[in-house]
Amino acid sequence: MTETPETFDLDAWLSGASRPQRSVRIFQRGDMLAELDELGREIELAEAAGDAERSLTDASPAALRQKYAELSEKFAASCLDVRVQGHDVDETREIMGERYDKTQVNAVEKDLVHDALVYPKMTREQFDMFLDKIGPAQWERLKVTYSAACREIAQPSADFLPQSSTADDTE
Q: How far apart are CA 39 and CA 45, in angstroms?
A: 10
Does residue 71 come out as left (phi exceeding 0), alpha (psi in the -120 to 50 range) or beta?
alpha
The model's pLDDT over 24-45, given as tens digits with 9 standing for 90+, comes to: 999 999 999 999 999 999 999 8
pLDDT value of residue 141: 96
Full-prediction pTM beyond 0.75?
no
Instruction: Please give the mean pLDDT across all residues of the chain.
Output: 85
